[in-house]
Amino acid sequence: MSRVVADEPGYVLHSAHYKETSVILSLFTLNHGVVQLIAKGARRPKSPLKSTLQIFRPLLVNWVGSGDLKTLIGAETASSFYLNALPSSGLAYCSGLYINELLTRLLPRGGPSEEIFSAYVTAISELFSTAQVEPALRRFEMAFLRELGALPDFEYDLDTGAAIEPSRFYRMHHHAGFVRADEQSRGALPGKHIIDCCTLDFNDAGSRRSAKIIARTLIDNQLQGRALNSREMIRKLMEYKHG
């Protein structure tokens, strides 16, 4: 029996044309995780869905179906947060695409994820409203890695069990945590930066850099060699800005 879901909070992560007038959507929802929907007729010139089904726009969505591909039967903008504008910069926009791609590629299907949904809403809100995109990205990556069960222990040295000390240096060990290292050794990170990752304090530029290294290493491990299109977009954008 087909199941009807009504007024489900969600965001479009990705859309692709399907046949002449329809689209296939990847939707991130509060209570159902990532779901695949077909929006029939959404590309028709007079369809109200054409302007509604936009990335970064909070939606209330209705669908029907019991299989892997469900049928959209309605959608509307959920709140006044959406400002009918792009995020605060091109980098913010590409960063939002990066977050969407992480969810599309790596988030397991078929289950609710209130913590990561909340982290997503916060990250998108910050990308729209601030010129500092890195802290928002780093906080989301940490929440996302926690959701995947891939976040290392930021509090204790894996070898000794002693608390991470801000004045010492450490390196990541088998993606599980950190062990003492010489300052000059490859991959050595200040203990303070590791502690800042634990507390999600990314006010310091050095902590942001270390958090980026840690997150990229852990996310690459989850991707298992698969590339992210959004990373290439960000790389080209930064080359253009500094070229």
In the structure, what pLDDT confidence band is assigned to residue 95 with cuts at 50, 70 and 90?
very high
The amino acid sitting at 151 is: L
In this predicted structure, the answer to whether residue 4 has a pLDDT above a threshold of 60 is yes
> Residues near 54 by Cβ (< 8 Å), separated by ≥ 6?
12
In a domain, 111, yes or no: yes
Mean pLDDT value across residues 15-23: 95
Query: How high is the pLDDT of residue 2?
Result: 74
Query: How high is the pLDDT of residue 87?
Result: 55
Query: How high is the pLDDT of residue 238?
Result: 84
In a domain, 84, yes or no: no
In this predicted structure, the answer to whether residue 169 has a pLDDT above a threshold of 70 is yes
In this predicted structure, the answer to whether residue 84 has a pLDDT above a threshold of 50 is no
Q: Which of 30, 45, 77 is the last residue of a domain?
A: 77
- The pLDDT tens digits for 25-49 are 999 999 999 999 999 999 999 998 9
Containing domain of residue 205, as a range? Answer: 90-242
Burial class (CB in 10 A: 0-12, 13-18, 19+), 46: exposed
Rounded Cα distance, 230 and 13, in Å? 13
Residues 70 and 118 in one domain: no
Query: What is the average pLDDT score of the chain?
Result: 91
Residues 102 and 177 in one domain: yes
In a domain, 203, yes or no: yes
In the structure, what pLDDT confidence band is assigned to residue 243 with cuts at 50, 70 and 90?
low
Residues 147 and 43 in one domain: no
Residues 106 and 64 in one domain: no
In this predicted structure, the answer to whether residue 167 has a pLDDT above a threshold of 70 is yes
Rounded Cα distance, 229 and 21, in Å? 26
Tokens 């780093």 locate to 138
Which residues does residue 60 pair with via DSSP β-bridges, in sequence order? Answer: 9, 76
Mean pLDDT value across residues 204-233: 95
In this predicted structure, the answer to whether residue 177 has a pLDDT above a threshold of 50 is yes
Q: Confirm if 223 and 145 have CB atoms less than 8 A apart.
A: no
In the structure, what pLDDT confidence band is assigned to residue 171 with cuts at 50, 70 and 90?
very high
Angle value at C-alpha 39, between 37 and 45, nearest 5 degrees: 160
In a domain, 45, yes or no: yes
Q: Assign residue 29 the CATH number of its domain.
A: 2.40.50.140
Lowest-confidence region among 31-35, 81-85, 146-150, 213-217: 81-85
- The pLDDT tens digits for 138-158 are 999 999 999 999 999 999 999
Query: How high is the pLDDT of residue 123?
Result: 94
Query: How high is the pLDDT of residue 128?
Result: 82
Query: How high is the pLDDT of residue 1?
Result: 60
Mean pLDDT value across residues 14-31: 95
Q: Assign residue 223 the CATH number of its domain.
A: 1.20.1440.120
Query: How high is the pLDDT of residue 111?
Result: 74
In this predicted structure, the answer to whether residue 85 has a pLDDT above a threshold of 90 is no
